[in-house]
Amino acid sequence: MDDQHIRAVVQTQIIECLNRFYAIETGMWGGPLHALIIRTVIAGENQGRLYDISAIANVLDLPLTTVHRKVRELEEMGFLYRQRDGRSVYLRPTQRTCVKLDKSFEEMIHAVRLLYRMPSPQTFLKYVVDAGPHPALRFYGEMDDEAAQTH
């Protein structure tokens, strides 16, 4: 098992983790642009940096008209609201959005933990190769206890 093969397997596992996050987010927020906008608004708020629509369009490199339309949809769905501060109007996550994110947080942490529970690349690769059909789509942490003890 060469390093290139190990790298490919690990990359596949990272992609699977990202796909799980994508599935979680799109299940909560709707489409991928909805998730991207909400994720950016929440990350900015967590960092003490509030975004208006123009800033979101700039940061995400999206057309302003697209961001306007998506933000309006997110407001109608109850995920974002606008807060005036002087002459600026910032996007903020609603309480509903924060609750949904908190509920999904444990699922996201679980996906990351599964990804990083690999004892070593060789042991991980051995498990993946021995796992059967489509082994690159399984997390190391998802093997049953008996399989874990044999690897």
Please tell me the distance from the alpha carbon of residue 132 to that of residue 129, in angstroms, as a whole number.
Answer: 7
Regions of the chain where pLDDT drops below 70: 1, 115-151
Per residue in 41-84, pLDDT tens?
Answer: 999 999 999 999 999 999 999 999 999 999 999 999 999 999 99
Which residues fall within 8 angstroms of residue 29, CB to CB, at 6 or more apart? Answer: 35, 38, 74, 77, 79
Residue position matching structure tokens 């600026």 = 88
CATH code, 125 = 1.10.10.10
Task: Tally the domains of the chain.
Answer: 1
pLDDT for the residue numbered 123: 57
Which range of residues forms the domain containing residue 61?
Answer: 3-150
